[in-house]
Amino acid sequence: MSRQKELIYNLITSTMSHPTADWVYRNARRKMPRISLGTVYRNLNTLVQEGRILAIANSRGPVRYDANITRHSHLKCIGCGLMLDVPETDIDFVPRSPKTRQFEVLEYRVEFLCLCPDCRAKNGSKKQTFQGGQNANPK
Of 11, 18, 27, 35, the residue at the interface with DNA (CB under 7 A) is 35
Q: Is 22 in the site for DNA (CB under 7 A)?
A: yes
Distance CA 86, CA 5 (A): 27
Q: How many chain residues bind DNA (CB under 7 A)?
A: 23
Question: Please, which residues have CB within 8 angstroms of residue 127's CB and are 6 or more apart in sequence?
Answer: 78
Neighbours of 137 (CB within 10 A): 15
Query: Distance from CA of residue 47 to its chain's centroid?
Result: 14
95 Rama sector, left if φ>0, alpha if ψ -120 to 50, beta otherwise: beta
Distance CA 62, CA 57 (A): 7
Q: Which is nearer to DNA, 31 or 120 (CB)?
A: 31
Residue 49 one-letter amino acid: Q
Provide the minimum distance between the beta carbon of 48 and a copy of itself in the complex, in angstroms, as a whole number.
7
Q: Which one of 8-16, 24-32, 35-43, 110-118 is the stretch in contact with a copy of itself (CB under 8 A)?
A: 110-118
Distance between first and last Cα of the chain: 26
Q: Is 5 in the site for DNA (CB under 7 A)?
A: yes
Provide the minimum distance between the beta carbon of 80 and DNA in the complex, in angstroms, as a whole number.
16
Of 15, 37, 41, 75, the residue at the interface with a copy of itself (CB under 8 A) is 75
Q: Is 71 in the site for DNA (CB under 7 A)?
A: no
Q: Is 59 in the site for a copy of itself (CB under 8 A)?
A: yes
Q: Is 123 in the site for a copy of itself (CB under 8 A)?
A: no
